[in-house]
């Protein structure tokens, strides 16, 4: 029995149960506790046989995941698939039960942006038992054979761009320093955070070792592998703000100058900028270099206001497009196009991956990147 046929049969049976229940549309809890209808039936006559695609996103609390979810859902609906999009409020158990529900509903393919990349092996075992294919979205899922493909941005390159930005801004190749830097890393349970840190630290650590860069707080991992020691759980702005405030109060109170902060993403950069503001830093030549990632609107506004130096923009529309293509390829039995078959080892296997290049955005190229591509309008950014 072919995969398509078996899954279509299961999907049909589940859909009948669902329709008998109430309507061909399910309700679910959203992050903010509101009840929302997040499931849909297939548009008629689309490019597919109406297979059900479960989309599990981590949280609504970050702008990017909202965009990721809605872009992907819209593309899949256009192509004629049914979708069930769920957000899990950054709670691992909630994400697992959402995936279980998608399996029960007869999902043919699961697209998962995991919260904890190591926590999904048992539920994916269940999915595999039913022939469901799994695409890891943006974040790798570890410790299981049952993840078929991975689509993401080049995570190491994101970090490399951040490290190189600091290297150029402080002219580290030519200056003796010492410059003071405070490094941060992402959530310890997010596999991506390791790559972001490694990309940046491979550029910056040699300068720390030479004494050109100093880390007054002492929170300076001796190697890439120690990144979790400075990780901010859940990627929250609040935790980053608290951590930065503590470091400023404890190590910079006597007038020590802070030259740069390595922030792996925009949610952390927002909190760090708040802490800087709280400590009296104002935009201008003495404001520290501050990195970021995602191109969230609040951060682009901060870049324009001089409160953040750069962001590494990941055009989530491109990721959604790539994943929709993967879904089509899987559903039609075609070869799934990937461009990296060596980097993403999840502990059990190397997961075939499609990497999308990220883009550095500074004050100088906002127009040519974010606005020209239609990611934001000039009005969104007050320009």
Kindly list the residues in this chain that would bind ligand BGC in the complex (CB under 6 A): 62, 64, 138-139, 190, 192, 235, 265, 267, 293-294, 314
Least separation in angstroms between residue 85's CB and ligand BGC is 17
| In the complex, minimum distance from the CB of residue 189 to ligand BGC, in angstroms, rounded to a whole number | 10
Residue 180 has φ and ψ, to the nearest 5°, of: -95, 130
Cβ of residue 314: shortest distance to ligand BGC, in angstroms?
A: 6
Nearer to ligand BGC, 8 or 269 (CB): 269
Measuring CA to CA, which residue among 222, 297, 294 is closest to residue 263? Answer: 294
Position of tokens 């999904």?
120
- Shortest gap between Cβ of 299 and ligand BGC (angstroms)? 10
Position of tokens 């930065």? 244
Minimum CB separation from ligand BGC for residue 235, in Å?
4
Helix (H, G, I), strand (E, B), or coil: what is residue 118? Answer: coil
Distances (CA, A) of 138 to 86, 192, 376, 377: 16, 8, 21, 25
Residue closer to ligand BGC by CB (options 138, 148) is 138
Tokens of residue 11, six digits: 């999907």
Packing angle, helices 155-169 and 191-210, rounded to 10: 30
Contacts of residue 309, Cβ cutoff 8 Å, sequence gap at least 6: 165, 169, 289, 290, 291, 303, 362
> Which of 64/160 has CB closer to ligand BGC?
64
Measured CA to CA in angstroms, residue 308 lies from 80, 114, 282 at distances of: 41, 28, 11
Contact in structure between 215 and 182 (CB atoms under 8 Å) = yes
The helix (H) or strand (E) run that includes residue 325 is helix 316-332
Residues 6+ apart with CB under 8 A from 225: none
Q: How far is the CB of 64 from ligand BGC (least distance, A)?
A: 6
Nearer residue to ligand BGC within complex by CB, 108 or 114: 114
Provide the minimum distance between the beta carbon of 213 and ligand BGC in the complex, in angstroms, as a whole number: 24
Between residues 62 and 110, which has the closer beta carbon with respect to ligand BGC?
A: 62
Tell me how far, at minimum, the Cβ of 271 lies from ligand BGC, in Å. 12
Cα angle 260, 366, 78 (rounded to 5 degrees) comes to 120
Which of helix, strand or coil describes residue 83? Answer: strand
Of residues 48 and 263, the one with the C-beta less far from ligand BGC: 263
CB closer to ligand BGC out of 162 and 293: 293
Minimum CB separation of residue 199 from ligand BGC in Å reads: 12
Output the smallest distance, CB 238 to ligand BGC, in A. Answer: 14
Q: Which is nearer to ligand BGC, 18 or 115 (CB)?
A: 115
* Sequence-ordered alpha helix ranges (H) in 170-315: 191-210, 237-251, 266-278, 297-304
In sequence order, what are the residues at sequence separation of 6 or more whose Cβ sits closer than 8 angstroms to the Cβ of residue 343? 156, 350, 353, 355
Residue of closest CB approach to ligand BGC = 265
């Amino acid at each position: 029995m072919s995969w398509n046929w078996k899954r279509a049969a299961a999907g049909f049976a589940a859909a009948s149960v669902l329709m008998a229940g109430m309507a061909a549309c399910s309700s679910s809890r959203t992050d903010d506790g509101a009840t929302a209808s997040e499931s849909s039936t297939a548009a008629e006559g689309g490019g597919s046989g109406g297979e059900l695609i479960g989309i599990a996103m981590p949280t609504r609390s970050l702008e990017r995941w909202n965009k990721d979810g809605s872009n992907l859902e819209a593309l899949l609906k256009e192509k004629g698939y049914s979708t069930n999009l769920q957000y899990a409020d950054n709670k691992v158990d909630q994400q697992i039960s959402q995936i279980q529900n998608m399996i029960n509903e007869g999902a043919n393919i699961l697209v998962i942006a995991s919260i904890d990349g190591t926590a999904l092996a048992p539920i994916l075992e269940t999915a595999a038992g039913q022939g469901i294919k799994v695409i890891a979205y943006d974040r790798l899922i570890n410790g299981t054979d049952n993840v078929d493909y991975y689509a993401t941005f080049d995570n190491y390159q994101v970090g490399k761009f951040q490290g190189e930005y600091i290297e150029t801004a402080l002219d580290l190749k030519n200056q003796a320093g010492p410059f003071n830097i405070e490094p941060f890393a992402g959530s310890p349970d997010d596999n991506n955070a390791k790559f972001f840190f490694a990309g940046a630290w491979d550029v910056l650590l040699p300068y720390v070792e030479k004494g050109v860069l100093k880390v007054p707080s002492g929170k300076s991992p001796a190697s890439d592998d120690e990144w979790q020691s400075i990780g901010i759980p859940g990627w929250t702005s609040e935790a980053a703000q608290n951590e930065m405030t503590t470091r400023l109060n404890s190590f910079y109170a006597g007038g020590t100058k802070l030259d740069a902060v390595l922030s792996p993403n925009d949610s952390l950069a927002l909190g760090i900028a708040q802490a800087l503001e709280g400590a009296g830093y104002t935009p201008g030549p003495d404001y520290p270099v501050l990195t970021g990632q995602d191109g969230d609107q609040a951060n682009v506004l901060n870049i324009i206001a001089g409160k953040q130096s750069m962001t590494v923009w990941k055009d989530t529309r491109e990721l959604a497009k790539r994943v929709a293509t993967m879904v089509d390829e899987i559903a039609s039995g075609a070869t799934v196009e990937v461009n990296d078959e060596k980097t993403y080892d999840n502990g059990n296997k190397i997961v075939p991956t499609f990497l999308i290049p990220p883009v550095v955005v500074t004050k100088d190229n906002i127009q040519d990147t974010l606005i020209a591509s239609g990611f934001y309008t000039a009005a969104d950014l007050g320009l």
